Amino acid sequence: MFESIMRWFRRKPEPGHVSPGSPPGGPMSPGARVWAPWEGQFLYSATIVSVVGPNVTVRFDTGEEKGDLLDNLRPLRPDKQIVSGQQIFMMYDAEARSYMFYPATVRSVTGEYFEVMREDNRPEGRVHVKRVRIPESALPLNLEPEWVMQSFVRLKEPEFFDVNIMADTSLANPIWASRREIDTLYQANDRVLARWHDYYWYPATVMSISKEGIQVHFADGDRGFVMEKHLLPLYCEEGERIFIRPPEEARLMYSPAIITRIDGEMLDVEFEANDQQESRHVSGLSINRARFWRLPKGTRPLNLDAGTSVLVLLGAYWYPGRILPAREENMFGPREDVVFIELLYGAHDVMVTPELIKPMRFSAGTEVECARGGGAYIAAKIAEVKGEKLLVKYL
Q: How far apart, in whole angstroms, are the C-alpha atoms of residue 361 and residue 320?
A: 10
Q: Which residues contact 299 (CB under 8 A, 6 or more apart)?
A: 355
SS3 of residue 288 by DSSP: coil
Q: Is the confidence at residue 254, as pLDDT, over 90?
A: no
Q: How far apart, in whole angstroms, are the C-alpha atoms of residue 265 and residue 149?
A: 50
Q: Is 56 exposed, middle or buried (0-12, 13-18, 19+ CB in 10 A)?
A: buried
Given a contact cutoff of 8 angstroms between Cβ atoms, the answer to whether 173 and 165 are in contact is no
Q: How far apart, in whole angstroms, are the C-alpha atoms of residue 248 and residue 291?
A: 11
**What is the band of 339 on the pLDDT scale with cuts at 50, 70, 90?**
confident
**For range 58-83, the mean pLDDT:** 90
Residue 163's pLDDT is 39
Give the H/E segment covering residue 78.
helix 78-81
Degrees to nearest 5, angle at CA 335 with 329 and 337: 135
pTM: predicted TM-score of the whole model, two decimal places: 0.56
Q: How far apart, in whole angstroms, are the C-alpha atoms of residue 208 and residue 186?
A: 9
Q: Per residue in 129-159, pLDDT tens?
A: 999 999 888 888 777 898 989 988 999 877 6
**CB-CB neighbours of 31 under 10 Å:** 8
SS3 of residue 84 by DSSP: coil
Residue 365 backbone zone (phi > 0: left; psi -120 to 50: alpha; other: beta): left
**Residue 8 or 360, more confident:** 360
Rounded alpha-carbon distances, angstroms, from residue 180 to 89, 206, 213, 214, 225: 29, 17, 11, 12, 15
